[in-house]
Amino acid sequence: MPHFFHLDGVLHAERTPLSRIAEQFGTPTYVYSKAALLENFDAFADACAGRDALVCYAMKANSNLAILDLLARRGAGFDIVSGGELLRVIAAGGDPAKVIFSGVGKTVDEMRLALSHDILCFNVESIPELHRLNEVAGAMGKQARVSLRVNPNVDAKTHPYIATGLKANKFGVAFDDALATYRTAAGLPHLTPVGIDCHIGSQLLDDAPLLEALDKLIELVDALGAEGIVLDHLDMGGGIGINYGAAGDAPPVPVGDYLGRVFARIDAWRAANYGGAPIKVIFEPGRAIVGDTGVLLTRVEFLKPGAEKNFCIVDAAMNDLMRPALYQAWMDVQQVQAGTQPAVSYDVVGPVCESGDWLARERELSVAQGALLAIMQAGAYGFTMSSNYNTRGRAAEVMVDGDTVHLVRRREDPAELFALESMLK
Ligand code: LLP
């Protein structure tokens, strides 16, 4: 069900007109729909019902405490990539026993923090990381549960910046080295190999590459079992894409269909080789949970017609939403209210001093100065990738629940941005 729609000529989030949010909270503001968030999470949870499965939300996509709290209460676990993210999970009341820790560069301090909270598992990406984790765990008198992130060398067929499962990527342990690396892990006294994981890329519209990766993990689990290294979970990573609404884009595979195919394959394998004994399955979705639950609300500052291009200068910029500048990502732009002007093709740009500061190119808009626009599907990798470039305070974030609007992060005051700095004595 769409949670952002036009009603009486005004774009709404649930039952709240975005124009009201702009008046009350100003712009630019990220606006999230609570109903959309829960619906997306439930698509995963429902497909996992009755199974030993865990949905670990990849919180890098959007780590606002209000979102983490809602998901934690729904039973979500979390995929983290830093000590800071673990502190957020705890601050939001999430359960560290449902946390998995991914990332190629975990520091000693981060390992200590995660071990002190007894997280579910470290997704380890290299041999030096195994040794470091073994030492840290040993010094704390602990045993670290580990999974190896295997790089299955499958082509996720997505933007090169967000493809992670090819040999040329920095991520994971090469498929051909996986067995030897597990032997190393099993030989280290303070590590317990418990799982295997992969993450081949993001914004995948088709699940065929994910199922190909699953087959490779299955092959490894069998080979490890034959050596006495018995794993109790298999983690598929994230990657399921969303519909950004670009013309010609294929629709993403429905979450239920994808999970259904994963479970069917796993069930057939377990029945054939393990007398039907199940294995726990973990998913790490980020974008599929939050991507279409948020928009970036922005106001037109100036219209600047030109010989080659017309510019629609808005108060949001690349520091608020990096995806277009960084990946040439196409994001849908909608007018909050219809305009009376003739439609003109505009590049929607921000005030930052970079030619790369654009949010959308060549869009037909009927707008005047002061009009409100919404950059759609901005719930994932929007706020979390924002910065303070040009000493711009970061946008406010609000969450809509029906006709109630909760401020879930107040707008940053520029004076706060340099409060940590000092001049030479
Ligand atoms: N697990 C791991 C280990 C990951 O690295 C990621 C995302 C995920 C799970 C979640 O992937 P998702 O389900 O969201 O596709 N900033 C980029 C996307 C970067 C994804 C990084 N890793 C963008 O805006 O498109």
223 with 369, same domain?
no
For residue 269, the domain's CATH number is 3.20.20.10
Model pLDDT for residues 256-271, shown as the tens digit of each residue:
999 999 999 999 999 9
Same domain, 251 and 338: no
Do 213 and 263 lie in one domain? The reply is yes
User: CB atoms < 10 A from the CB of 264, how many?
Assistant: 11
Catalytic entry in 48, 121, 312, 353: 353
- Print the domain residue range for 16: 4-31+291-417
In this prediction, residue 1 carries a pLDDT of 74
Domain with residue 24: its CATH number is 2.40.37.10
pLDDT at 325: 97
pLDDT at 170: 79
165 with 270, same domain: the answer is: yes
Ligand 1 atom at minimum distance from 285 CA: 13
Instruction: Let me know: does 13 contact 31? Beta carbons within 8 Å.
Output: yes
Q: How confident is the model at residue 165 (pLDDT cuts 50, 70, 90)?
A: low
Structure confidence by residue, pLDDT tens digits, 291-320:
999 999 999 999 999 999 999 999 999 999
Q: What is the pTM of this model?
A: 0.97
**Residues 276 and 299 occupy one common structural domain:** no
**Whether 372 and 260 share a structural domain:** no
pLDDT at 157: 72
Residue corresponding to tokens 């990657």: 239
220, 248, 283 — which closes off a domain? 283
Structural contact between residues 252 and 241, judged by C-beta atoms closer than 8 angstroms: yes
| 381 Cα nearest atom in ligand 1 | 24
φ/ψ of residue 137, rounded to 5: -65, -45
Q: How far is the CA of 202 from the centre of ligand 1 (A)?
A: 5
Percent helix, percent strand, percent coil in the chain, to nearest 5: 35, 25, 40
Per the structure, the count of domains in the chain is: 2
Counting every residue, how long is the chain? 425
Residue among 60, 81, 101, 161 whose CB has most ligand 1 atoms within 8 A, to mutate: 60
17 & 149 share domain: no
Label residue 166 by pLDDT band (50, 70, 90).
Answer: low
Same domain, 360 and 316: yes
Predicted confidence (pLDDT) per residue in 193-243, tens digit:
999 999 999 999 999 999 999 999 999 999 999 999 999 999 999 999 999
Q: 283, 305, 338 — which closes off a domain?
A: 283
Residues 361, 232 share a domain: no
State yes or no: pLDDT of 255 exceeds 70: yes
How confident is the model at residue 18, as a pLDDT?
98
353 is catalytic: yes
- What is the per-residue pLDDT for 236? 98
Q: Are residues 253 and 131 in the same domain?
A: yes
